Chain A
Amino acid sequence: MMEDLAMHTLEILMNSVHAGARNIKLDITDSAARDELLISVLDDGKGMDEETAKRASDPFYTSRTTRKIGMGLAFFKGLAETCGGEFSLSSEPGKGTRVSASVQRSNIDTPPLGDIGEMMMETIQADGDIDYELAYVTDSSRFEFSTQEAKEMLDGVSILEPGVLLWIKEYINEGIKQVKEDIV
Chain B
Amino acid sequence: MKSLEELKKIREAALKKVEMREGGKDYRVVVGMATCGIAAGARPVLNRLVEETAKKDYNCTVSQTGCIGMCVYEPIVEVYGKDGEHTTYVHVTPDMAAEILEKHIAGGQVIEEYTVAAAAAGNKEV
Please list the residues of chain A having a beta carbon within 8 angstroms of any beta carbon in chain B. 7, 10-11, 66-67, 71-72, 118, 121-122, 125-126, 149-150, 153-157, 160-167, 170-171, 174-175, 178
Contact: A160 with B51, CB < 8 Å? no
Please list the residues of chain B having a beta carbon within 8 angstroms of any beta carbon in chain A. 1-2, 4-8, 10-11, 13-15, 33, 35, 38, 43, 46-47, 50-51, 53-54, 61-64, 66-67, 69
A11, A118, A155: the one contacting B35 at CB < 8 Å is: A11
User: In the complex, what residues of A have CB within 8 A of residue B13's CB?
Assistant: 163
B18 shortest CB reach to chain A, Å: 8
A28 shortest CB reach to chain B, Å: 19
CA distance A7 to B54 in the complex (A): 24
A11, A72, A121, A170: the one contacting B2 at CB < 8 Å is: A170
Q: Is the interface of B mostly helix, strand, loop or mixed?
A: helix
B11, B43, B53, B63: the one contacting A155 at CB < 8 Å is: B11
User: In the complex, what residues of A have CB within 8 A of residue B15's CB?
Assistant: 157
A180 shortest CB reach to chain B, Å: 14
CA distance A174 to B114 in the complex (A): 36
Task: Across the A-B interface, give the 5 residue pairs with the lowest CB-CB distance, nearest first.
Answer: A162-B54, A153-B7, A162-B53, A163-B54, A157-B11
A118 shortest CB reach to chain B, Å: 6
Question: Can you add 9 more A-B contacts, CB < 8 Å, to A11-B35, A166-B51, A166-B54?
Answer: A7-B38, A66-B69, A122-B43, A125-B62, A153-B4, A153-B5, A161-B54, A162-B53, A165-B54
User: In the complex, what residues of A have CB within 8 A of residue B4's CB?
Assistant: 149-150, 153, 171
Q: Is the interface of A mostly helix, strand, loop or mixed?
A: helix
B3 shortest CB reach to chain A, Å: 8
CA distance A65 to B8 in the complex (A): 42
Contact: A178 with B54, CB < 8 Å? no
Query: If the complex has contacts A71-B35, A150-B4, are A163 and B14 also in contact, measured as CB distance less than 8 A?
Result: yes
User: In the complex, what residues of A have CB within 8 A of residue B5's CB?
Assistant: 153
By beta carbon, the residue of chain A nearest B6 is A167
User: In the complex, what residues of A have CB within 8 A of residue B8's CB?
Assistant: 153
User: In the complex, what residues of B have CB within 8 A of residue A170's CB?
Assistant: 2
By beta carbon, the residue of chain A nearest B53 is A162
CA distance A143 to B63 in the complex (A): 27
B69 shortest CB reach to chain A, Å: 7
Contact: B2 with A171, CB < 8 Å? yes
CA distance A154 to B6 in the complex (A): 10
By beta carbon, the residue of chain A nearest B64 is A126
CA distance A166 to B55 in the complex (A): 10
Query: If the complex has contacts A125-B46, A167-B7, are A160 and B61 also in contact, measured as CB distance less than 8 A?
Result: yes
Contact: B2 with A174, CB < 8 Å? yes
A125, A157, A162, A163: the one contacting B64 at CB < 8 Å is: A125
